[in-house]
Amino acid sequence: MNVVSKMEDLRMFAPWVRIIKGENRREQVNVLLRTLGVPILAFALFLGIWDSAAKSVVTSLGQVPGPSQVLEQAKGLWQEYQAESVKEDKFYERQEKRNAKKLAANPDAKVKWREYRGRTTYPQQILTSLYTVFTGFLLATLIAVPLGILTGLSQTLNNAMNPIIQIFKPVSPLAWLPIVTMVVSAVYVSDDPMFDKSFVTSAITVMLCCMWPTLINTAVGVSSISPDLLNVAKVLRLSWWSKIIKVVLPSAIPMIFTGMRLSLGVGWMVLIAAEMLAQNPGLGKFVWDEFQNGSSNSLGRIMVAVLTIGFIGFLLDWMMLQLQKYFSWDKSAVNR
Amino acid sequence: MSAHLNIDHVSMEFDTPSGKFCALENVNLKIKKGEFVSLIGHSGCGKSTVLNIIAGLYQATKGGVVLDGKEVSEPGPERAVVFQNHSLFPWLSAYENVELAVKQVFKGKKSKAEMKEWIEYNLELVHMSHALHKKPDEISGGMKQRVGIARALAMEPTVLLMDEPFGALDALTRSHLQDSLMEIQRDLKNTVVMITHDVDEAVLLSDRIVMMSNGPAAGVGEILDVALPRPRHRLELADDPMYNKYRADVLRFLHERHAKPDVPASSKVA
Ligand SMILES: Nc1ncnc2c1ncn2[C@@H]1O[C@H](COP(=O)(O)OP(=O)(O)OP(=O)(O)O)[C@@H](O)[C@H]1O
Ligand SMILES: [Mg+2]
């Protein structure tokens, strides 16, 4: 089965191989045009429209950036990152030398090791966002899967949970955030906090918004287990726990992964808004800061962030799809 | 001597949205050890209900089932069930499906090696050794049903319960499986209760055929002793006058005398 899916992944190369081999050239070129040519053409068309539309709108921050300006800003961000890395390396080098000297003079001397505190660079912000979204998503999964299993098993609990789910599912992260912020400030007090408050707030907001698809799908997956399979479990006198582990959980796995994939998508979308308001140093804060800065580069940089967010969202979805394919016994549940 | 399996004055009422529905009334049946009994009757008459009560999946409203002197109160592996649509775990291979049952039933009684041998032996019995590690959706319907039977046999049941085990299969596959089942039965001499819709199947396999009257409030209509010598071969039996007489008896019952003679009108839908 794995072999089959691997073959599918390789399918996009097949026309190239055939063209090189000289099999049926004309038809293969057509296939290539359809599968590769059309998307490329569409993208080029999109860039063209963007470019001409951008030129005709002038904001208080100057002209709306077209594709070339955005590329320029992306390069700028990359250069900033590299310059910052050089600085960081130098800082550590200096510190190392200084401390080595001190120790050489006096082996008992107390030396200080400081961490480099420079400007946060764009790649760091991306990593912060990913770290935050995965924390929120993990928390959501840890709550939603067990709760979904219980909800799916018991009709009573299902009836009890249904209104709660229906009410909280559509709530926007912007509505949650003030409450979460207040609760976190009140509850999460420590002199030496392991995590920043802004991180905790963002992660919890992501969790609150993205647990619902997993919860709903898990419950549906569990409640639609074939009664025959449950009868087999009864005939075998499986204990409650082994019934869950050996029968219920594996039956529901395809649905659980469908839900998790949706959840991660929602989580990523919600994260940006949460970071903006909570000032978690990720992509959301980047966008917010650029907006507040209001330099002539800002719109271009925000556009870079927009594209980055979109691309990472796409990668996250692709990653979840691969996981889903790997873990699901029911290949028909895996749909694009 | 009391019977090995005694279905004693069993009645069954279901709660439905439109009130109580009396599916079975006063079903009595005594089954001897090693006997092969088929239940035959029209669709919806309550055959599965009887089987589920024996299995312990349903609780009879009145009366009860006694196996070897002990009243049946819950499902258990000593009354293994083969369900109509195989009901294998789709994420486990044939071997693992049987393994799950064997591990549960023989936990602490068999060593790892013994379990492996026992799993392979049972899959061998149903001629599935060539596809031990295939998943259910990689094998045919007949093969799935074979694995289902192997899983039930591997529980070493006192009574093997089968609900239309071959109902979903084509005629040729079905006859292969019937032959396999007769072969296994000759060696293991299990007590078997099998539901079937197929008259030939009932006559070929059974020691006794229990013909059920139509529901609601269905019961045992008539019981036919099939005194054909074993081993039985389907081709030889085709011209056997006794075989044809049994067949005709069952057919006559199903088509003429299926209605229960004295059902009080009130008990139909109470
Ligand atoms: N859980 C239930 N709740 C309510 N009514 C039921 C239930 N199970 C069965 N019945 C009813 O009891 C009657 C007997 O059902 P049963 O499934 O035992 O029939 P059957 O003889 O096995 O039929 P078939 O040959 O079609 O499988 C039917 O009228 C059915 O509608
Ligand atoms: Mg039935």
Q: How far apart are CA A79 and CA A23, in angstroms?
A: 46
Chain B: give the shortest CA distance to residue A139, in Å.
Answer: 27
Beta carbons of B218 and B45 less than 8 angstroms apart:
yes
Instruction: Tell me the residue length of chain B.
Output: 270
pLDDT at B263: 46
Contact across the interface for B89 and A228, Cβ inside 8 Å = no
pLDDT at A157: 92
Contact across the interface for A235 and B83, Cβ inside 8 Å = no
Percent of chain B with pLDDT over 70: 94
Choose, out of A2, A225, A235, A256, the residue to mutate when testing the contact with B (most B CBs < 10 Å): A235
Residue A308 has pLDDT above 80, yes or no: yes
pLDDT category of residue B91 using cuts at 50, 70 and 90: very high
**How many contacts does A have with B, using Cβ atoms within 8 A?**
53
Contact across the interface for A226 and B91, Cβ inside 8 Å = no
ipTM: 0.87
pLDDT at A304: 92
- What chain B holds in terms of domains, given with CATH numbers, is 5-80+157-261 (3.40.50.300)
Mean per-residue pLDDT, A165-182: 89
Q: How far apart are CA A258 and CA B247, in angstroms?
A: 53
Average per-residue pLDDT for chain A: 87
Q: Where are the domains of chain A?
A: 2-56, 122-333
Chain A: give the shortest CA distance to residue B165, in Å.
Answer: 13
Residue B84, CB half-sphere, CA atoms under 13 Å: how many? 13
Q: Residues A89-148: pLDDT tens digits?
A: 898 899 888 888 888 888 887 878 888 877 788 889 999 999 999 999 999 999 999 999
Collapsed DSSP state (helix, strand, coil) of residue A120: coil
pLDDT at B264: 46
Centre of ligand 1 to C-alpha B67, Å, is 24
Who wins on pLDDT, A174 or B100?
Answer: B100
Mean per-residue pLDDT, A58-78: 86
Q: Which residue in A has a C-alpha nearest to residue B104's C-alpha?
A: A236
Give the binding-site residues of ligand 1, using a 6 Å CB cut-off.
B 14, 16, 21, 23, 41, 43-49, 215
pLDDT category of residue B270 using cuts at 50, 70 and 90: very low
pLDDT category of residue A195 using cuts at 50, 70 and 90: confident
Residue A329 contacts B where some CB pair is shorter than 8 Å: yes
With residues binned 3-state (H G I as helix, E B as strand, rest as coil), the percentages for chain A, rounded to 5, are 80, 0, 20
**Binding-site residues on chain B for chain A (CB distance < 8 A):** 55-57, 74-77, 79-81, 83, 85, 87, 89-91, 100-101, 104-105, 135, 155
Chain A: give the shortest CA distance to residue B155, in Å.
Answer: 9
Mean per-residue pLDDT, A204-230: 94
Mean per-residue pLDDT, B167-191: 87
Signed CA dihedral, A192, A195, A199, A202: sign only: negative
Percent of chain A with pLDDT over 90: 49
Contact across the interface for B85 and A237, Cβ inside 8 Å = no
Contacts of B265 (CB under 8 A, 6+ apart): none
Residue A178, CB half-sphere, CA atoms under 13 Å: how many? 3
Q: How far apart are CA A84 and CA A77, in angstroms?
A: 11
Contact across the interface for B135 and A237, Cβ inside 8 Å = no
Percent of chain A with pLDDT over 70: 93
Instruction: Tell me the residue length of chain A.
Output: 336
Chain B residues lying within 8 Å of A242, measured CB to CB: 104
The CATH homologous superfamily for domain A122-333 is MetI-like (1.10.3720.10)
Chain B residues lying within 8 Å of A236, measured CB to CB: 77, 100-101, 104-105, 155
CB < 8 Å from B in window 52-71 of A: none
Centre of ligand 1 to C-alpha B43, Å, is 8
Residue B11, CB half-sphere, CA atoms under 13 Å: how many? 12
Centre of ligand 1 to C-alpha B49, Å, is 6
Q: Which ligand is nearest to the CA of B216?
A: 1
Chain B residues lying within 8 Å of A326, measured CB to CB: none
> What token pair was written down for B216?
């609601």
Choose, out of A232, A240, A242, A248, the residue to mutate when testing the contact with B (most B CBs < 10 Å): A232
Chain A residues lying within 8 Å of B90, measured CB to CB: 329-330
Mean per-residue pLDDT, A213-221: 95
Angle, helix A298-327 to helix A283-293, in steps of 10 degrees: 170
Atom of ligand 1 nearest to the CA of B45: 21
Nearest to B77 among A228, A237, A246 (CB): A237
Nearest to A228 among B83, B91, B101 (CB): B83
Residue B269 has pLDDT above 70, yes or no: no
Atom of ligand 1 nearest to the CA of B164: 27
Nearest to A330 among B77, B83, B90 (CB): B90
Residue A5 has pLDDT above 60, yes or no: no
Nearest to B89 among A229, A235, A242 (CB): A229
pLDDT at B2: 64
Signed CA dihedral, B86, B90, B95, B98: sign only: negative
Q: Which residue in B has a C-alpha nearest to residue A239's C-alpha?
A: B104
Who wins on pLDDT, B57 or A174?
Answer: B57
Chain A residues lying within 8 Å of B105, measured CB to CB: 236
Q: Residues B208-265: pLDDT tens digits?
A: 999 998 878 888 888 999 988 888 998 888 899 999 999 999 999 988 765 554 444 4
pLDDT at A135: 96
pLDDT at B266: 44
pLDDT at A10: 59
Alpha helices in B126-162 (DSSP H): 141-154
Q: How far apart are CA A80 and CA A294, in angstroms?
A: 18
Atom of ligand 1 nearest to the CA of B46: 18
Give, using CA atoms, the residue closest to atom 25 of ligand 1.
B43
Contact across the interface for B81 and A235, Cβ inside 8 Å = yes
Q: How far apart are CA A303 and CA A297, in angstroms?
A: 10
Residue A237 contacts B where some CB pair is shorter than 8 Å: yes
Residue A226 contacts B where some CB pair is shorter than 8 Å: yes
Residue A33 has pLDDT above 60, yes or no: yes
Beta carbons of A263 and A211 less than 8 angstroms apart:
yes
Residue B26 has pLDDT above 70, yes or no: yes
pLDDT at A247: 94
Contact across the interface for A236 and B100, Cβ inside 8 Å = yes
Contact across the interface for A329 and B57, Cβ inside 8 Å = no
pLDDT at B267: 44
Kindly list the distances between the CA atom of residue A228 and the CA atoms of A224, B82, B85, B265, in Å, as whole numbers in the listed order: 11, 10, 8, 34
Query: Could you tell me whether strands B81-82 and B159-163 are parallel, antiparallel, or unpaired per DSSP bridges?
Result: parallel
